[in-house]
Structures are given as structure tokens and as C-alpha cells.
Amino acid sequence: MKYLELKIPPVLLVFLFSVFMWVVSLALPQIDLHRYFKNIVFGLLSAISALIVILGVVSFRRADTTVNPINPGSSSSLVQTGIYKYTRNPMYLGFVLFLVGLSVFLQSIFSMFLIPLFIVYMNVFQIKPEEEALVKLFGEEFTSYQKNVRRWI
């Protein structure tokens, strides 16, 4: 299944999972959450998600390196500052938080079960190939970073 590696832009994948979660929420029973609760949880998780993603992008921009997840081999520097001191994949972490908030908003426990599939897909077809490219580019500097900072949180 190597043909899927680095092929689907993560933002598009979030969109596709969001649509699939919405379809699942329509097709399967929902839980009844108070309107304010679901809106507050979705709003809060969306805001936190956006903040984490923006912090990741800003760190990349400050380091003058690419944010293109399809071509990690074009990275010009290894970013280890800012939010990257705490997670190696803040943008992907932000995407997961958004999907969690969306499942609450959709009031669908069944759509929540799709989130681990997103995480597995990201680990196998996006993150691992990115890490392989970064090891080739940055060698011991990246492997040392891997030892000190977790992949997700």
C-alpha cells in the first residue's frame, strides 16, 4: 500500500473524514446532547485546533521551510522550537482535535469511532514517510529529536 504514502493532502483527508462522519451521523443513531454543550465543545475544540495548527505553520514559516506535507524531502530546516518542543506533528494533532469536536457537534458516537482510523492512516501513510524523509535529510539531529519529542502528544 506504499502507493498511498504522501498522496492525499492531510487537509483534504480531514475534509473527507468530516463528510464521512456527517454521513455516519445521519445514518446511525445519535446521542442527545444539549445544544449549548455540543456547540461549546465544538467551538472550544475548533479554536484549540486552529491555534495548534497556526502555531505549527508559524513555526515553519519562521524557520523558512516548507509546510507542504506531500513533499517533506524539500524541508530546508528541522523545526524544534515553539510548539514543536511538545509535539512533532502539531498540525495533525490539531486536525484530530477538530474531528473530535465535530463528532460531539454531530452527536454521533459512531462518527467518533472513525477518528482512530484517521490517526492510523496519518501514522502509516503520512507521518512515517515524512519521518523517513527527515532522517535522510537531517540524520542524527532528527533521530535525537524523535527520542525527545513525542509524535502526537
Q: Please list the pLDDT of the chain residue by residue as tens digits (153 residues).
A: 788 999 999 999 999 999 999 999 999 999 999 999 999 999 999 999 999 999 999 999 999 999 999 999 999 999 999 999 999 999 999 999 999 999 999 999 999 999 999 999 999 999 999 999 999 999 999 999 999 999 999
pTM metric for this prediction: 0.95
Topology, domain 34-66+76-153: Four Helix Bundle (Hemerythrin (Met), subunit A) (1.20.120)
Tell me the C-alpha distance between 91 and 123, whole Å.
13
pLDDT digit string, tens, across residues 83-92 = 999 999 999 9
pLDDT digit string, tens, across residues 20-29 = 999 999 999 9
Tell me the C-alpha distance between 117 and 142, whole Å.
27
Interhelix angle 128-138/140-148, rounded to 10 degrees, is 130
* Pick from 112, 121, 120: nearest CA to 24: 112
Question: At a CB cut-off of 8 Å and minimum separation 6, what does 134 contact?
Answer: 72, 75, 78, 142
Q: Where are the domains of the chain?
A: 34-66+76-153
